A and B are shown apart, each in its own frame.
Chain A
Amino acid sequence: MKYLHLSIVFIALILMSTGTSFAGYDYIDINSPSMRKIPIAVPLFKSGATTLNNSDIQLPQKASDMLSTMLDFTGYFKILDKRSFLENPIKPETILENIDFHNWTTVGAELLVTGIIQAKGNNLEIELRLFDTIKASQLVGKKYRAENNDLKQIIRLFASEIVFFLTGNRGVFDTRIAFVSTGSGNKEIYICDFDGTDVKQFTNNKAITLFPAWSSDGQWIAYTSYLKGNPDLYIKSVANNSINVVSKNGINIAPAWMPGKFELAATLSYSGDQDIYLMTGAGKIIKRLTNGPGSDVSPTISPDGKKMAFVSSRSGTPQIYLQDIYTGYVQRLTFSGKYNTQPCWSPKGGKIVYCGTDEGRHNIFIIGLDGKDPVQLTHNEGNNESPSWSPDGTLIVFSSTREGPSRIYVMTSYGTDQKRLLAISGEQTNPKWSPRLADK
């Protein structure tokens, strides 16, 4: 995996002026639906070079733009327009003693990020700081050294530090999204970074390929493909070419992984009935999980690995059910509407996001485990399908036809800040958010 080969030399925690005991979690309460966006100023970074050539001017610009975009993606911040800043962009002040905080509060900033960046041969040296402009204090300060082409990684690390300081969780900067695209003429699986950049084709089956699912360690992606004519299940390593195949008679579809295990659930129909089975990552069946009449599809496992939500047509129409994996106890979760499918269990455990269909229109809903009062997140904007949570539970990725062809969009778990993730050729469907990949 990409992250394994990173050669960032992390130098030191520098200048934690407020002390390590200072917890900043009260800055952003991510559990509040009425969360106010914090105005943050990310002025042009300063070049550490003494004599400036072209690349020394472009590099700080590139780095500060990159950080702005990443912070904006979280939905936590209001990124202030650089044109409002009361500071000479050529000579930005970057350290506590020199910053005129009043000029930053005047333009509405409550947080300020400054940076000094310098290319030294093949290496980059970057100092990044986060300030509270109202208290005029430094919140986070880091110095990084890495190879030239790892700039994005460094910016990502610091964005992660900022979000961690302010919210208490690491954010989504070290995650990726797998999805299906028809760009090559066939449906194939692609992978991009959390922000839609760095798109790579993952399968090249030249056959219909669907339903990617990340293992909880991010090392494997399971999917369904018609590679050999039949909808079979493939379990493929992300890093190398290892691949396991489940190719039983009938359908082998819509896999979901057990958290923390090399085990997955999927629908197989070789018995004559479409039921969900638990199997090993090598494709060996451990046990049959459902045994009801009609179709049982689209399993999603609770974060504690004890429960499963799935779609069943046992009552006539497709509805979402909850089942205890060990006792087999089943209860119906959705009652409103005639077509509720594609459940995805939240990483925090308490909610399920799904696709509800009314009069042929698909929309994204969230429902608690008590099944009461589903909340609709998308409204009157094409068909919205395949919701998948970010690993920190703050964002939801989904596909939508709101602009005509099906594309991938991201929104907060409250349905706010809906925006398109990427613009590539073909139609994109079935997005699945990866777990955090940085520690791997």
Chain B
Amino acid sequence: MMTGGDKNSLLSDINVTPFVDVMLVLLIIFMATAPMMVQGVNVNLPEATAKPLASEKDHLLITLDKGGNIYINNYKVAPEQLKIKIQKILEGRLDQEVYLRADKDISYGAVVKLMSEIKEAGVEKLGMVTETVENKK
């Protein structure tokens, strides 16, 4: 990022890029495909062409549905309870991976907010669940 100069720039000029940057540095994000996530709440998923990863059986899946409700597997969690819940679950698990699927209609801001909360709970690797394009066909 360029620095040193334009003191007259307005607040509205603030770019979200650095924020996402930081998050990307601290959080390893990978792609996973929907068919592996058989259980849980139905949501419409965004499509992607990135190669899916083979995922393990007991993945911790967090879902954000169209209505903004948050689920772990099929268990609905109040937003303020999410962080502690994830922390406690990670204490009992061997891996520290979390898979996140968000409805494609949900706002980008809401997803970022959820991601940052997941990060704060101590998650090191976050899998973004998508539906592969081929799958959709």
A interface residues with partner B (beta carbon < 8 Å): 39, 78, 80-81, 83-84, 86-87, 100, 102-103, 105-109
CB-CB < 8 A to A83: which residues of B? Answer: 84-85, 88
Q: How many pairs, one residue from A and one from B, have CB atoms within 8 Å of each other in the complex?
A: 49
Name which residue of chain A comes closest to B40, CB basis. A102
CB-CB < 8 A to B59: which residues of A? Answer: 106
B interface residues with partner A (beta carbon < 8 Å): 39, 57-61, 72-75, 84-85, 88-89, 91-94
Across the interface, do A107 and B74 meet the contact criterion of CB distance under 8 Å?
no
Across the interface, do A102 and B88 meet the contact criterion of CB distance under 8 Å?
no
CB-CB < 8 A to B84: which residues of A? Answer: 83
Q: How close is B53's CB to chain A, nearest CB, in angstroms? A: 18
Please measure, in the bound complex, the distance between the C-alpha atom of A197 and the C-alpha atom of B58, giving whole angstroms.
38
Name which residue of chain A comes closest to B71, CB basis. A86
Most chain B beta carbons < 10 A, residue from A78, A80, A107: A107
Interface of B is mostly: mixed
Across the interface, do B89 and A107 meet the contact criterion of CB distance under 8 Å?
yes
Across the interface, do A105 and B92 meet the contact criterion of CB distance under 8 Å?
no
Can you show 15 pairs from A to B with CB atoms below 8 A apart? A81-B91, A83-B84, A83-B88, A84-B85, A84-B88, A84-B92, A86-B89, A103-B75, A105-B57, A106-B61, A106-B93, A107-B92, A108-B93, A108-B94, A109-B92
Name which residue of chain B comes closest to A79, CB basis. B92
Across the interface, do B73 and A80 meet the contact criterion of CB distance under 8 Å?
no
Q: How close is A40's CB to chain B, nearest CB, in angstroms? A: 10
Q: A102-B58, A103-B74 are in contact. Are A84 and B39 (CB under 8 A)?
A: no
Please measure, in the bound complex, the distance between the C-alpha atom of A109 and the C-alpha atom of B93, giving whole angstroms.
8
CB-CB < 8 A to B74: which residues of A? Answer: 86, 100, 103
Across the interface, do B88 and A106 meet the contact criterion of CB distance under 8 Å?
no
CB-CB < 8 A to A39: which residues of B? Answer: 92
Q: How close is A39's CB to chain B, nearest CB, in angstroms? A: 6
Across the interface, do B60 and A106 meet the contact criterion of CB distance under 8 Å?
yes
Across the interface, do B75 and A86 meet the contact criterion of CB distance under 8 Å?
yes
Name which residue of chain A comes closest to B95, CB basis. A108
Q: How close is A300's CB to chain B, nearest CB, in angstroms? A: 41
Q: A86-B89, A102-B73, A108-B93 are in contact. List 6 more A-B contacts (CB 8 A).
A: A81-B92, A84-B88, A102-B39, A106-B59, A106-B60, A106-B73
CB-CB < 8 A to B94: which residues of A? Answer: 108
Across the interface, do B75 and A108 meet the contact criterion of CB distance under 8 Å?
no
Please measure, in the bound complex, the distance between the C-alpha atom of A112 and the C-alpha atom of B79, giving whole angstroms.
27
CB-CB < 8 A to B89: which residues of A? Answer: 84, 86, 106-108
Q: How close is B56's CB to chain A, nearest CB, in angstroms? A: 11
Please measure, in the bound complex, the distance between the C-alpha atom of A81 and the C-alpha atom of B39, giving whole angstroms.
24
Across the interface, do B92 and A80 meet the contact criterion of CB distance under 8 Å?
yes
CB-CB < 8 A to A86: which residues of B? Answer: 72-75, 89
Please measure, in the bound complex, the distance between the C-alpha atom of A219 and the C-alpha atom of B92, giving whole angstroms.
43
Across the interface, do A107 and B39 meet the contact criterion of CB distance under 8 Å?
no
Across the interface, do B75 and A87 meet the contact criterion of CB distance under 8 Å?
yes
Please measure, in the bound complex, the distance between the C-alpha atom of A106 and the C-alpha atom of B71, giving whole angstroms.
13
Q: How close is A376's CB to chain B, nearest CB, in angstroms? A: 31
Q: A102-B39, A106-B58, A108-B93 are in contact. Are A81 and B88 (CB under 8 A)?
A: yes
Q: How close is A440's CB to chain B, nearest CB, in angstroms? A: 39
CB-CB < 8 A to B93: which residues of A? Answer: 106-108
10 closest cross-chain pairs (CB), A and B: A108-B92, A84-B88, A86-B75, A84-B89, A108-B93, A83-B88, A105-B58, A80-B92, A81-B88, A107-B89
Please measure, in the bound complex, the distance between the C-alpha atom of A108 and the C-alpha atom of B85, giving whole angstroms.
13
CB-CB < 8 A to A103: which residues of B? Answer: 73-75
CB-CB < 8 A to B88: which residues of A? Answer: 81, 83-84, 107
Name which residue of chain A comes closest to B77, CB basis. A86
Please measure, in the bound complex, the distance between the C-alpha atom of A424 and the C-alpha atom of B89, giving whole angstroms.
35
